[in-house]
């Protein structure tokens, strides 16, 4: 690992704030290659099972990114990339898997993704609906030397953003687990009754970069 990456990983968490974000959202008000939110997770060992859920709201008609986890040498280690009106692309350790979903509507959208290295199986739920399961990167893992960002697609760890892939909209209720959610768990997460053990929206450790605004969720 390069020295510059080590410095980033060691220094950034010091400046992060911790807050209960219940009832709040991050607003990304305009297209930019700077505005993003850095999240700090709690995992210390390589992940072989991952679940991430979040809510987003946007009227974009171009592709955009909500959740980007990058590791040294793998800028798309765990990435949510959406192409309206009905394509969700899930990247795991650089390999992309495409899902055809119901068309987006102008409303809040709850997305949950799970990935199990033992089988490679990826599960995608949108608003509680499970789409046909697919598989990717069986036997691999996600290193804990990770940079997690909301609202931008990392092309290098912690940066390399493209404004044409940025989110213009809102993100809320971001949670991450180091295990595979069951269907019952996903329903609990949908209604705000299950909190992440790796990233927890009700105890979120984060840092805002650029023009991102915290607002009440209306």
Q: Examine the pLDDT at 11 and tell me if it is beyond 80.
A: no
pTM: 0.91
Task: Please give the mean pLDDT across all residues of the chain.
Answer: 92
* Of residues 106, 105, 65, 108, the one with CA closest to residue 83: 65
Predicted pLDDT of residue 108: 97
Kindly list the domain boundaries of the chain, sorted by start residue: 3-216
The mean per-residue pLDDT over the stretch 34-38 comes to: 97
The mean per-residue pLDDT over the stretch 121-138 comes to: 98
Taken in order 109, 203, 206, 72, the sign of the CA dihedral is negative
* Of residues 23, 17, 64, 25, the one with CA closest to residue 172: 25
The mean per-residue pLDDT over the stretch 87-97 comes to: 98
d(CA 208, CA 192): 23
CATH fold for the domain made of 3-216: Jelly Rolls (2.60.120)
Containing 114, the helix (H) or strand (E) segment is: strand 109-116
Predicted pLDDT of residue 42: 87
Q: DSSP readout, 145-180?
A: S-EEEESS--SBTTB---GGG---EEEEEEEEESSP
Q: Examine the pLDDT at 15 and tell me if it is beyond 70.
A: no
């Amino acid at each position: 690992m390069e020295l510059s990456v080590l410095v980033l990983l060691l220094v950034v968490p010091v400046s992060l704030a911790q807050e209960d974000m219940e009832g709040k959202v991050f607003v990304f008000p305009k297209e930019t290659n700077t505005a993003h939110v850095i999240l700090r997770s709690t995992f210390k060992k390589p992940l072989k099972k991952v679940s991430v859920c979040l809510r987003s709201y946007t009227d974009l008609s171009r592709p955009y990114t909500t959740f980007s986890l990058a590791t040294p040498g793998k800028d798309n280690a765990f990435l949510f990339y959406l192409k309206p009106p009905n394509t969700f692309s899930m990247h795991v350790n650089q390999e992309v898997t495409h899902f055809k979903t119901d068309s987006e509507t102008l409303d809040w959208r709850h997305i949950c993704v799970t990935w199990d290295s033992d089988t490679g199986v990826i599960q995608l739920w949108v608003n509680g609906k499970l789409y046909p399961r697919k598989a990717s990167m069986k036997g691999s893992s996600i290193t804990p030397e990770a940079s997690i960002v909301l609202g931008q697609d990392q092309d290098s760890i912690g940066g390399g953003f493209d404004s044409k892939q940025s989110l213009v909209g809102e993100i809320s209720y971001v949670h991450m687990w180091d295990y595979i959610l069951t269907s019952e768990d996903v329903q609990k997460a949908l209604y705000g009754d299950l909190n992440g053990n790796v990233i927890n929206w009700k105890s979120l450790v984060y840092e805002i970069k650029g023009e991102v605004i915290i607002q009440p969720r209306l």
